[in-house]
Structure 1
Amino acid sequence: MASESSVWNTCNYSRDVTFFYNLVGKKISEEWSTQDFVVIGLGLTVCLIVVLANLMVMAAILMNRRFHFPIYYLLGNMAAADLFAGIAYVNLMLNTGPWTRMLTKEQWYIRGALIDISLTASVANLLAVAVERHQTIITMQLHSNMTKRRVVLLIVCIWVTAIIMGLVPSTFWNCECDLDDCSTVAPLYSRRFLIFWAVLNLLTFFIMVAMYARIFIYVRYQSRATSEHTSEIRHNQTVVNLMKTISMVLGAFVICWTPGLMTLLLDGLLGKASHANSFEKYCLVIAECNSLVNPIIYSLRDNEMRRTFKWILCCLCRKGADQRRQPSVKINSPLSEETLDFVQKSEDRALRKPQDSHDKDGWTEPRV
């Protein structure tokens, strides 16, 4: 009991956020500068665009039955993670600068946990997409046979894991009982946790890149082996185009998040000697931009997604223009009949015969 009491007394639970910032030499500005206002104004504007853009992606996937496949549900969950990241950045912007010294430790931990949760959800979701693509591409299928129940269960597991990882620093893996282990980037976090966090995510990046490289090699080999069959060539090309879109999403994520993870790794290994505070804000801005990149990739790569975006925007404009000809909307697809006929004919020519029973949930070939 005595040893337990002595350990408890060495912990600094009564100290406030300012104490830990002063301990590691991270300055909290006392007054607002013009630069602070510009950074926060631009940051909030970008966050607003991120939230709206990813809401549109989620709405497009839910409303268009051509996207009702496991891969698109996972991409929709990726948009949800990006939307959550936008909300996390808004909270960060509204609790930074001189406002930092006003935060309680609980509020500070929540601010960091939101960022951690969004990153974990994105990484776990990309890993799930990689596994799903590996299972389907090896059998040269466009979509997996995973049931909706399993997809929902997988998405729930992703978010549960993300929440648990976000709560780890605030519950037990911090430096309140070991001041020598405090991080300079996140003063209440343990440097050992930052090392674990950065290495885990960087290793996951490497695994996903290796998986996609193997998938591309396999698809290329299969394409050459079936070069004499026109229908199979078109199907393979559709598979490759979808893979390119997903690979661009993965590539953008790795490029945007690697600088921040390397900063955390250096801070964990070197502490104050890493001088991580001098460039952490730039890494955070790059990471924030990733949440805006994915909707752009979807709209540029997928004609069907872009068509659905236009339909959603037109509907929003019509609501404000007082055009309500139909009292109730009962449609199976968010596309007009003219566009739907055009898309259907394109599907029939590109992938399947008209008699195919699966044509009711057809697939529009993404843009190369």
Structure 2
Amino acid sequence: MMEAHVDQAANATVENPIFIDAPIILTAIVLCLLILITIVGNLFVIAAILLERNLQSVANYLIVSLAVADLMVACLVMPLGAVYEINSGWSLGPELCDMWTSSDVLCCTASILHLVAIAVDRYWAVTNINYIQARNPRRIGILIIAVWVISLGISLAPQLGWKDPDYLDRIAQGTCLVSQDTAYQIFATCATFYLPLLVILFLYWRIFQAARKRIRKRPGTIQPPRERRGILRLVTRRPREESTAFTITRSTPDHSSISPEKSSSYNGANITPSTTVTPTAVSTTTTTTTLTNPTSTSQQQQVVKCTKRTRETIESKRERKAAKTLAIITGAFVACWLPFFLVALLQATCQTCEPPKLVASVFLWLGYFNSTLNPVIYTVFSPEFRQAFKRMLCGGTRGLR
């Protein structure tokens, strides 16, 4: 009787192969959705910058180039990677394997190095006021060209002879990997991830320090007395949007009308890393006091104390917001790519330390997922990008060419 049940189960499995293919079908659906979301997200970023006049700034050239690199990951790398995963092996030949691995290294390295270039641009903008005036298409273009040239050099090195002896044997056995030569792997992993990671962490730490220092230097302002009524007038200004070195405020198409002391470009939109306090303008939610009666000194002191407490609260909120933004930017990058590059370096230095195929696949696609997150991370803090996306989805035309 038991044997009959076993035979019936075996026959049911043969007659219904969908039970065998269910994990493969689920994997295919998930990977296809990931590829589609990555393509759509990066296309939206490119279209928003090309169509919206107020997003067409020099600093946004870096965002466009980053989106192009991530779009190439989604179009050239991820589809063949999905085929590789679904087939559980490589059956497309050594030539296509060479093309796929070279494209993989080129596009992923370019995506990572663009994050470094954006961090460098932000650091210069926040720590050097004169950089805002010096920023021009030529300077940003040099950064972009340097990113792509370095990425191309790293990706083409195996094709120029820097391969391990077992390269073709692995492909014949159904495994397509970039050159596993120890020296190349150490060079590639350090140049592609570990060195950029150190640079990004250092630059964003310096940016945060500069932002916190400038936030704490914003004093309240008391206007000079007016010769009108002999009473105390409290003029409470409308709160402005909180701004730090990382939060984005509204930019204008005419960048020449913005003084560099009050604005610097951040991801193509204008930010205010430091606010210049003038006799007629004060920082966020500052209460402005106008005195004409000498007997109102106690009331003036009370207003100043209230203003000081309000300013301290705003400073702490700005610092928390800056730290949160930095944590998102660096945390997403590290979480996506660190596992893959740890395994890559471990495999290159320890021949017997090969991880399970499932783990290696998850780490690889986690790195690809960074190209899906980049359009969100580098635009979500900009109200202008959000409005541009909303107009594109709803069919609006305001602000277009």
Whether the TM-score (by the shorter chain) exceeds 0.5 is yes
Residue 128 of structure 2 corresponds to 139
Give the one of 69, 76, 79 matched to 1:81. Answer: 69
Unaligned runs of 5+ in 2: 1-19, 223-236, 249-265, 267-321
Residue 23 of structure 1 corresponds to none
SS of the residue 1:241 aligns to? coil
Give the one of 361, 374, 386 matched to 1:281. Answer: 361
Asked if 1:213 is matched to 2:205, the reply is yes
TM-score normalised by L of structure 1: 0.68
Paired with 2:170 and 2:96, the residues of 1 have a C-alpha distance of: 21
Deviation, 1:41, is 2.4
Residues 219/299 of structure 1: CA separation in 2 closer, same or farther (3 Å cut) = closer
Paired with 1:261 and 1:121, the residues of 2 have a C-alpha distance of: 15
Q: Give 4+ residue runs of structure 1 displaced > 6 Å after superposition.
A: 177-182, 233-236
Q: Give the residue type in structure 1 aligned to 2:80.
A: N
Identity %: 25
Q: Is the 8 A contact 1:175 1:181 kept in 2?
A: no
Residues 54-65 of structure 1 correspond to what in structure 2 (within 5 A)? 54-65=42-53
Q: Which has the higher helix share?
A: 1
Asked if 1:158 is matched to 2:238, the reply is no
Deviation, 1:185, is 8.2
Residue 334 of structure 1 corresponds to 400
Residues 72-151 of structure 1 correspond to what in structure 2 (within 5 A)? 72-87=60-75, 88-98=77-87, 100-140=89-129, 143=132, 145-151=134-140
Deviation, 1:180, is 12
Deviation, 1:239, is 2.7
Paired with 1:78 and 1:291, the residues of 2 have a C-alpha distance of: 9
Paired with 2:101 and 2:166, the residues of 1 have a C-alpha distance of: 19
Residue 54 of structure 2 corresponds to 66
Residue 193 of structure 1 corresponds to 184
Give the one of 192, 209, 223 matched to 2:215. Answer: 223
Paired with 1:264 and 1:252, the residues of 2 have a C-alpha distance of: 19
Q: Is the 8 A contact 1:121 1:162 kept in 2?
A: yes
Residue 376 of structure 2 corresponds to 296
Question: More displaced, 255-264 or 149-158?
Answer: 149-158
Residue 40 of structure 2 corresponds to 52
Residue 271 of structure 1 corresponds to 351
Give the one of 260, 275, 300 matched to 2:340. Answer: 260
SS of the residue 1:239 aligns to? coil
Deviation, 1:114, is 1.6
Deviation, 1:251, is 3.0
Deviation sequence 1:154-175 (CA, Å, 0-9, x none): 3233223222221212322111
Q: Give the residue type in structure 2 aligned to 1:62.
A: L
Deviation sequence 1:241-260 (CA, Å, 0-9, x none): 14755763343122211111
Paired with 1:57 and 1:145, the residues of 2 have a C-alpha distance of: 25
Residues 273/246 of structure 1: CA separation in 2 closer, same or farther (3 Å cut) = closer
Paired with 1:70 and 1:265, the residues of 2 have a C-alpha distance of: 37
Q: Is the 8 A contact 1:219 1:236 kept in 2?
A: no
Q: Is the 8 A contact 1:181 1:191 kept in 2?
A: no
Residue 240 of structure 1 corresponds to 246
Paired with 2:367 and 2:167, the residues of 1 have a C-alpha distance of: 29
Q: Is the 8 A contact 2:167 2:179 kept in 1?
A: no
Q: Is the 8 A contact 1:138 1:215 kept in 2?
A: yes
TM-score normalised by L of structure 2: 0.63
Deviation sequence 1:294-347 (CA, Å, 0-9, x none): 2333554222111100111223xx8xxxxxxxxxx9x7x239xxxxxxxxxxxx
Larger CA Rg, structure 1 vs 2: 2
Unaligned runs of 5+ in 1: 1-31, 319-328, 336-368
Q: Is the 8 A contact 2:90 2:176 kept in 1?
A: no
Paired with 1:306 and 1:84, the residues of 2 have a C-alpha distance of: 23
Deviation sequence 1:15-38 (CA, Å, 0-9, x none): xxxxxxxxxxxxxxxxx9432332
State the superposition RMSD in angstroms: 3.4
Residues 194/153 of structure 1: CA separation in 2 closer, same or farther (3 Å cut) = same
Asked if 1:172 is matched to 2:238, the reply is no
- Size of the alignment, in residue pairs? 288
Residues 178/85 of structure 1: CA separation in 2 closer, same or farther (3 Å cut) = closer
Paired with 1:91 and 1:179, the residues of 2 have a C-alpha distance of: 18
Deviation sequence 1:141-165 (CA, Å, 0-9, x none): 7956321233234323322322222
Residues 281/72 of structure 1: CA separation in 2 closer, same or farther (3 Å cut) = same
Residues 270/180 of structure 1: CA separation in 2 closer, same or farther (3 Å cut) = farther
Q: Is the 8 A contact 1:140 1:236 kept in 2?
A: no
SS of the residue 1:310 aligns to? helix
